[in-house]
Amino acid sequence: MTSTRWYAHDMTTARDVLITCVGLNFGPNPETRIDEIRESRYRTGKNVVRQLKISATDVVADIGSGCGFVTRAAAEIAIETHCIDVSKEFLDYTRYELSDIKNVHFHHVDYAKFPIADESLDKIFSTAVFIHFYYYDFLFNLIEVNRVLKPGGSFYVEIVDADVLDLDNVKAIKSHMIDYRNTLRSSKQGGARPRFIQPFSLTAFRHLSQQLGFEMVWVEHVSNVAQIVVRKVRGPQLPEWLAAVV
């Protein structure tokens, strides 16, 4: 039985938002399985809380908060939570989804620019967002994460680890590869080109994050997805040429 607690917008808009958020893992009509989606993503949020050791004194942020399902697990514990997203539709959904929790703030942002004060956050997390990023997306966003994290603060992130991809692992690679090929063909015929899932090397991530002032403190693979926690140990100390660009 579907919960009566629901999004304020019309069903078509809700369906579009949910499919953008969770894909087609719950079928073409995810609004009919909202309780399952909430439960699944909440479990992901509990894992984030556990790995970051989020406490009642922490100020936290979710980069790419989406529908707020993952955010809820942290917001229930932290003293203050910031939802950051480039999509107004997602933030609108999240405001409804988290309307029963106090001290949650919502930020519509431009690319890799967070309206949050320097060194004001204890913990940051991002799920199912960096899996779409290229190298330079990692660069710009990690610089911004470093800026807003307190010294010693931690960041949880997930990537599709190119280091463990294997053509013989059909389950891990086939659907993403076919979607990539089909969307490229569609874009050449005038269709929209959404952001693909982009494998990124854990080796490259480790090196880049170290250069930008982080140390890797935990990593675990779930199939081809690397779940990572890094800790801020210093400012990024950017080369002069890079500081001028960012």
pLDDT one-digit tens code per residue, 98-123? 999 999 999 999 999 999 999 999 99
Q: Which of 38-42, 200-204, 242-246 has the lowest mean pLDDT?
A: 242-246
What is the C-alpha to C-alpha distance for residues 189 and 238, in angstroms, rounded to an integer? 41
Supply the pLDDT for residue 231.
98
Fold of 48-245: Rossmann fold (3.40.50)
Q: What is the pTM of this model?
A: 0.90
pLDDT one-digit tens code per residue, 135-193? 999 999 999 999 999 999 999 999 999 999 989 888 778 877 887 887 777 666 655 45
- The mean per-residue pLDDT over the stretch 231-237 comes to 96
161 bridge partner residues: 200
- The 3-state secondary structure of 165-232 reads CCCCCHHHHHHHHHHHHHHHHHHHCCCCCCCCCCCECHHHHHHHHHHCCEEEEEEEEECCEEEEEEEE
Average pLDDT, rounded, for the chain = 90
Give 195's pLDDT tier (boundaries 50, 70, 90). low
CB-CB neighbours of 65 under 10 Å: 32
